[in-house]
């Protein structure tokens, strides 16, 4: 029988959210960091308008999408690559710039797919300790090995929600070897953009990539569109391993319309931030410890792994799904996506009830 390569056989499948409430119990999913609002109506209309041409292949160069993204963010569209979600781009980066003989470095509580991407490429995955739930630039620099090829980090972080100041990111880049590629995944960047600290100009140095996605603030997780700004040399190598028809015509049309409807996306961010802050206040008042979040989710400290597991099971029995964080090295924590006001309130009241009953 045909067998897989050893490094693939040794991998565990990527852990997805389990969403199976008890029979007859309605589902409240606050586990996948999906947007609390649907996509812009203009994006939905744009996608529907191109369905009649479904016999044609999509634009392999994402020409219109790159153009509007370049205009929106003040960057050269020639440096933009688009993927089937940002996970697609992360996987391609790992295949091209890591692998046997080149390791990957990431913070200890980084987005778990960074590890999966490194493992798929056959690379060793190294982690650097964090200070609580915040990335430490000093420990990242201390974690660099002679064979480090890529440093992955998310900013704001997932699952932590915390953020690295721009000056610290630049200090990291300035102190990394020039042969190390720094990849900054800004999947939640739109939620932090009002701070006016975008990092696209770091790409000009030639050894940094900044990634973004339409899955979060744009409410388009089901369309699967991600993008990134790349140095020209890096982009040329990445195109060699990318699927040339990776984003459907409908998804490209929707993404273009979503970018042009900038006000709708910004309103989503404002609504999300207000509901997030209300939820954080209620949880804190009830005695829960949380990290500061610059995203559309909250990370809740349950005290210890046993309590986190018990709370998670109690919530699931009621059809309320949060996300355990053992896979990110935080087994004592649960992550709660910010959803609709009623769903948030239901989840919080259930957590408070569990906390009261287990004292």
DSSP per-residue codes, 259-317: HH-HHHHHHHHHHHHHHHHHHHHHHHHTT-EE---SSSEEEEE-SSHHHHHHHHHHHHH
For residue 232, the model assigns a pLDDT of 93
Binned at pLDDT 50, 70 and 90, residue 4 comes out as low
State yes or no: pLDDT of 15 exceeds 60: no
Please tell me the distance from the alpha carbon of residue 70 to that of residue 76, in angstroms, as a whole number.
6
Two structure tokens written together for 299: 């990370």
Please tell me the distance from the alpha carbon of residue 343 to that of residue 58, in angstroms, as a whole number.
38
Binned at pLDDT 50, 70 and 90, residue 14 comes out as low
Residue 122 CB neighbours (<10 A): 17
Residue 125 CB neighbours (<10 A): 19
Q: How far apart are the first and last CA of the chain?
A: 55
User: Edge-to-edge, what's the strand order for the sheet holding 289-290?
Assistant: 289-290, 297-301, 333-337, 323-324
Domain ranges within the chain, ordered by starting residue: 17-33+263-357, 42-261
- List CB contacts of 115: < 8 A, sequence separation 6 or more: 106, 125
Binned at pLDDT 50, 70 and 90, residue 2 comes out as confident
Weakest-pLDDT range from 6-20, 131-145, 217-231, 279-293: 6-20
Q: Which one is predicted more confidently, 204 or 296?
A: 296
- The string over 76-95, giving b where at least 16 C-beta atoms fall within 10 Å of a residue's C-beta and e elsewhere, is ebebbbbbbbbbbbbbbbbb
pLDDT average, residue stretch 255-281: 97
**Which class for 352: exposed (0-12), middle (13-18), buried (19 or more C-beta within 10 A)?**
middle
Two structure tokens written together for 55: 């016999």
DSSP per-residue codes, 117-143: HHHHHT--EEEE--BTTB--HHHHHHT
Residue 306 CB neighbours (<10 A): 11
Chain centroid to Cα 202, Å, comes to: 20
pLDDT average, residue stretch 10-36: 77
Report whether 152 contacts 164 (CB < 8 A).
no
CATH fold of 42-261: 3.40.640
Weakest-pLDDT range from 21-35, 199-213, 223-237, 250-264: 21-35
Report whether 296 contacts 36 (CB < 8 A).
yes
**Which class for 145: exposed (0-12), middle (13-18), buried (19 or more C-beta within 10 A)?**
exposed
Question: What are the DSSP E strand ranges found in 34-109?
Answer: 80-83, 103-107
For residue 334, the model assigns a pLDDT of 97
pLDDT digits (tens, 9 = 90+) for 173-185: 999 999 999 999 9
Please tell me the distance from the alpha carbon of residue 211 to that of residue 194, in angstroms, as a whole number.
18
pLDDT digits (tens, 9 = 90+) for 65-78: 999 999 999 999 99
Binned at pLDDT 50, 70 and 90, residue 195 comes out as low
Two structure tokens written together for 235: 């982009």
Binned at pLDDT 50, 70 and 90, residue 124 comes out as very high
pLDDT average, residue stretch 6-33: 74
For residue 7, the model assigns a pLDDT of 75
Hey, which CATH number is domain 17-33+263-357, 3.90.1150.10, 3.40.630.30, 3.90.226.10, 3.40.50.150? Answer: 3.90.1150.10
State yes or no: pLDDT of 194 exceeds 80: no
Report whether 134 contacts 293 (CB < 8 A).
no
Binned at pLDDT 50, 70 and 90, residue 10 comes out as low
For residue 87, the model assigns a pLDDT of 95
Two structure tokens written together for 239: 């195109």
State yes or no: pLDDT of 111 exceeds 80: yes
Question: What are the DSSP E strand ranges found in the chain?
Answer: 28-29, 80-83, 103-107, 125-128, 148-154, 181-185, 208-213, 226-229, 289-290, 297-301, 320-321, 323-324, 333-337
For residue 350, the model assigns a pLDDT of 95
pTM: 0.93
């Amino acid at each position: 029988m045909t067998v897989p390569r050893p490094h693939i056989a040794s991998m565990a499948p990527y852990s997805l959210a389990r969403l199976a409430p008890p029979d007859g119990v309605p589902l409240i999913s606050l586990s996948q960091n999906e947007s609390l609002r649907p996509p812009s109506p203009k994006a939905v209309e744009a996608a529907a308008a191109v369905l009649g041409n479904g016999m044609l292949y999509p634009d392999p160069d994402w020409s219109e999408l790159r153009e509007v993204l370049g205009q929106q963010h003040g960057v050269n569209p020639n440096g933009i690559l688009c993927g089937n979600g940002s996970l697609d781009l992360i996987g391609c980066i790992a295949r091209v710039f890591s692998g046997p003989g080149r390791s990957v470095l990431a913070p200890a509580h980084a987005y778990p797919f960074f590890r999966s991407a490194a493992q798929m490429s056959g690379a060793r995955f190294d982690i650097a300790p964090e200070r609580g739930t915040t990335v430490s630039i000093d420990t990242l620099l201390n974690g660099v090995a002679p064979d480090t090829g890529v440093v992955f980090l998310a900013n704001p972080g997932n699952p932590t929600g915390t953020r690295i100041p721009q000056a610290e990111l630049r200090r990291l880049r300035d102190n990394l070897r020039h042969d190390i590629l720094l990849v900054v995944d800004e999947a939640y960047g739109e939620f932090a953009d009002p701070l006016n600290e975008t990092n696209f100009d770091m790409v000009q140095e030639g050894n940094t990539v900044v990634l973004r996605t339409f899955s979060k603030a744009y409410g388009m997780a089901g369309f699967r569109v991600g993008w990134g700004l790349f140095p020209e040399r890096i982009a040329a190598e990445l195109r060699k391993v990318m699927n040339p028809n990776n984003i459907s015509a409908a998804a490209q049309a929707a993404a273009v319309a979503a970018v042009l409807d900038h006000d709708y996306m910004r309103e989503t961010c404002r609504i999300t931030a207000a509901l997030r802050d209300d939820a954080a206040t209620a949880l804190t008042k009830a005695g829960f410890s949380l990290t500061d979040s610059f995203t559309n989710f909250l990370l809740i400290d349950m005290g210890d792994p046993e309590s986190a597991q018990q709370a998670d099971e109690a919530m699931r029995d009621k059809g309320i799904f949060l996300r355990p964080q053992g896979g990110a090295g935080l087994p004592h924590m649960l992550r709660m996506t910010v959803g609709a006001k009623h769903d948030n309130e239901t989840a919080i009241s259930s957590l408070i009830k569990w906390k009261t009953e287990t004292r």
